[in-house]
Amino acid sequence: MTRVAYLVLMAAFLWAPGALAADNGALALFTVGKYAQAEKAGVAAGDAAGYAIATRSVLADELMHPPCLECLQRAEAYARKAIAADPKYPEGHIYLAVTFGYEARIIGMIEARFKGYAEQARENLDDVLAVEPNNAWALAGLGGWNIEIVRTAGETLARWTYGASIKTGREYFARAFAAEPNNLVLRYQYALVLGAYDPEAYRKEIEDTLARAVAGAPHSEFDKFEQARARALLDAIKSGDLQNFSQMVRRDQGYP
């Protein structure tokens, strides 16, 4: 089995869906960047939407600080509670897949393989699309899944072993953009995936994608954070400093 099979290939994807509907103020707290309070309010709600917001809040705070395995494990527990509360609620599955990706970057490939993170991530995204075929976040996640497999395994092995390809990955992203054309976070995440794969070959597309992210309208403090990172990446790649750009991509994808 190649290292692709035990890497979770979700990176910083998919964890800002807008479909959450907790009525206890947790979503409002998240929107204004009060992540600790949003986490508590989500847990207090005790339903799928509440636990999903709690997960989302932990992940948002985690991305803004040095990697914290204990924090990610807490997020994973919340995501599992969201799924247990309502197995058909998409955000629980999406956030669980994302926590696998962040955890894998901290614990390393061998342990991630043993835990089956890559397989579980794909299964959870498939579960989302079974309920919502046009869920932009799940579509983008599968786009990233395909591209990252090719990046780590190579085109031939990725195709033979997983049926993955760059073409398929880009098609999934195109479907995600069609579903949510004004979503700046999805644009930023696509640029990250392409930037990790081959910033030279896809430089023009990366620049165009980042420009769209920078021009988008943020709807939360987290959107503003992601948009600022997109702007920094755009400046780096336009300057021609691909080494610095690649280092920033790695940081933004959540590597220690």
Contact 175, 142 (CB under 8 A): no
Query: pTM of the entire structure?
Result: 0.87
The answer to whether residues 64 and 224 touch, using CB atoms and an 8 Å cutoff, is no
CB 88 within 8 A of CB 126: no
Helices 184-197, 166-179: crossing angle, 10 deg rounding: 170
Give the pLDDT confidence score for residue 58 in this predicted structure: 97
pLDDT of residue 138: 95
| Portion of the chain with pLDDT greater than 90, in percent | 67
Residue 64 CB burial class (10 angstroms; 0-12, 13-18, ≥19): exposed
What the chain holds in terms of domains, given with CATH numbers, is: 3-177 (1.25.40.10), 182-256 (no CATH)
3-state secondary structure of 198: coil
In this prediction, the residues of the chain whose per-residue pLDDT falls under 50 are: 1-16, 18-23
pLDDT score recorded for residue 1: 40
Give residue 43's pLDDT: 97
Q: In sequence order, which residues have a C-beta less than 8 Å from that of residue 140 and are 6 or more positions away?
A: 13, 14, 172, 173, 176, 186, 189, 190
Return the pLDDT at 24: 60
Identify the pLDDT of residue 122.
84
pLDDT at 128: 96
Q: Which candidate, 123, 120, 138, places its Cα nearest to that of 186?
A: 138
Say which residue the tokens 């986490």 belong to. 39
pLDDT score for 233: 98
Question: How far apart are alpha carbons 102 and 10 in whole angstroms?
Answer: 8
